[in-house]
Amino acid sequence: MKNTKHLLLLAVLACSLIPLQAQKFQGLAQTPPMGWNSWNKFACDVSEKLIRETADAMVSSGMKDAGYEYVVIDDCWQVSRDSLGFIVADPQRFPSGIKALADYVHSKGLKFGIYSCAGDKTCGGRPAGRGHEYQDALMYAKWGVDYLKYDWCNTEKLNAEGAYTTMRDALHEAGRPIVFSLCEWGDNKPWKWAKEVGHLWRTTGDIYNCFDCINDHGTWKSWGVMQILDKQDGLRQYAGPGHWNDPDMMQVGNGMPLNEERAHFTMWCMMASPLISGNDLRKMSPETLGVLANKEVIAIDQDSLGIQGFRHAVKDSVETWMKPLKNGEWALCLLNRSKSPKSVELNWKTISVTDTLSNRTLDTTGKELYKIRDLWLKKNTGDTRKPLKAIIPGQDVLCLKIFK
């Protein structure tokens, strides 16, 4: 009893050391944020009409019911600063103003997100946050913003940790709880310091709408899905409830074949990544919606244990990924990176895996029986008494949940 009292006292003291404003931010993003961002599909072609219609589509399509909640407008909504230095939205594209737009998104039971940048100008050449952090945070709070994506263009001579900490402090001071997304591209290893600054941080440069390729722009590169996946090696120990590695927004629905979309989405879920769609929600095909709104695969991403998955084995272009889940369950994903179909066989009598990060073990070698559920077929497909045999199409996945 004495030890319990001491622990409670320590917890109270710890909370008392955190400024009151900062305490409002402590419980945010306990699972990876889910939502939509305008950049991948629309770049600078944004407007209040697009955002309103996207909010409508998020609800009517079933995306909201599947867990998506943030509607985030990316770059190019802003055009100038007023005589006092406050940020001004484009009056042509946003004639009703950002506050009215946020109110509309909120009226749909959703949350509203916005974009800025730590440098002098945004990546799109618009006014950015440098030197105006506290003014901008006050305006975001006044408008009712719930999520801020903060980029890293035009940041010469800035220290990344210092710049993002300044914006964090400004958000805290403004007082409205806002999920803070650091889009620093991984250049300064944010996974080592950003847990105390924001709720998610980009681990790589920008994603490219391609499954397995690199787009070389000369002075910088954007990356295909598989390239970004490989760049997550060694980062899983930094992620958890309230602080997530972010491998960038998804390209599902922007032109990849269905098998590649399914693999892309599955691997983001296995990595406990933020699920931020980047397609036109108003014009989704049933197939794309079926990928983005698969609640059983989403549950892998949103599992409250908050453990990022890991690559367990590789054989003949097929990677075995594993992710411990709550209640002793596991997700197991077989990713075929080849363009050709691959035959696979899992002999459950030989599988005993311990994840030292979560201190969880999956052992199917003994008498204890586990059931197997295919999360894309959405049905149970047997148990661990017999080996699993399957053919995985090229650049596709087999995603299973293993449970008692």
Alpha carbon distance 305, 325 (integer Å): 6
**Under a CB-based contact definition with an 8 Å cutoff, are residues 29 and 242 in contact?**
yes
Alpha carbon distance 121, 295 (integer Å): 39
Pick the catalytic residue from 75, 136, 206, 246: 206
Q: How far is CA 115 from CA 179, 240, 256, 359, in A?
A: 12, 24, 26, 38
- Residue from 403, 305, 280 nearest 358 by CA: 305
Percentage helix, strand, coil, to 5, in the chain?
Answer: 30, 25, 40
Pick the catalytic residue from 74, 136, 146, 151: 151
Handedness of CA 83, 88, 94, 98 (dihedral sign): negative
Q: Provide the pairing of β-strand 360-363 with 352-355.
A: antiparallel
- With 0-12 / 13-18 / 19 or more C-beta atoms within 10 angstroms meaning exposed / middle / buried, residue 370 is buried
**Under a CB-based contact definition with an 8 Å cutoff, are residues 330 and 322 in contact?**
yes
Coil, strand, or helix at residue 279? coil
- Could you tell me the two tokens for 283? 């014009």
- Could you tell me the two tokens for 147? 């999520």
- Could you tell me the two tokens for 44? 């600078």
User: What is the maximum span of the chain, computed from C-alpha positions, in angstroms?
Assistant: 74
Identify whether 206 is a catalytic site residue.
yes
Active site residues: 151, 206
